[in-house]
Amino acid sequence: MLKHASWTNGNALVLEEPNNILVRHWGWGTEMQFTFTPGMTPRGTWCHIAIPTPVIINDVRMKVQNVFLLFKTGQHASIDNIHIYDGPKRIFARDAVPGGNISARRTGDHSQGVDAQNMFTLPTPHEVSLGLSISFTFRPVALNTTLLTVDPEGKLLITAAGADFF
């Protein structure tokens, strides 16, 4: 039975290496867009967002199984890896392997509500120890680098992240 749902606005997002990425924090989330030298494809970066985590409620340690990342990509951008952490411990990983397994790749508009593309279900319930965060890669996909410095479709918007606790 659900005891607590916790969410944070996407404007809490931080980038690990913001090189060649234009970042805008809006009231409705964080928007990132690749910038580049013509003919040179940017490499992308890891992004991180913390989820407010109720570790103990009424003397009971909470468990989590469903975690959410609401997003919208342009046609030339994707989320290729999703890792979920409890403090320093990685408790979930879904990775896309370039040229191989891309089933982990996430694209499209999944920014308004929960759906199968933005919900990540841990294989078993996890008892929370410290605090949850989501890490993911923002990658270019068929970016048009013949334009001056920006491809308008090489962008990603993160609107929210959350988890259900029981």
Identity of the residue numbered 68: F
Helix, strand, coil % in the chain, rounded to nearest 5: 0, 60, 40
83 and 42 Cβ atoms separated by less than 8 Å: no
Give the pLDDT band of residue 35 (cuts 50, 70, 90): confident
**108 DSSP assignment:** S
Rounded mean pLDDT of the chain?
A: 91
Confidence at residue 102, expressed as pLDDT on a 0 to 100 scale: 57
The stretch 42-68 carries a mean pLDDT of 95
At CA 25, angle to CA 41 and CA 116, rounded to 5?
75
Tens digit of pLDDT for each residue in 88-147? 999 999 988 666 655 678 989 999 999 999 999 999 999 999 999 999 999 888 766 676
The stretch 35-58 carries a mean pLDDT of 89
For position 15, which CATH number holds? 2.60.120
**Where does residue 59 rank: exposed (0-12), middle (13-18), buried (19+ CB within 10 A)?**
exposed
43 and 37 Cβ atoms separated by less than 8 Å: no
Single pTM value for the model: 0.91
CA distance 112 to 125: 26
Query: How many domains does the structure of the chain reveal?
Result: 1
> Domain limits at 37?
4-165
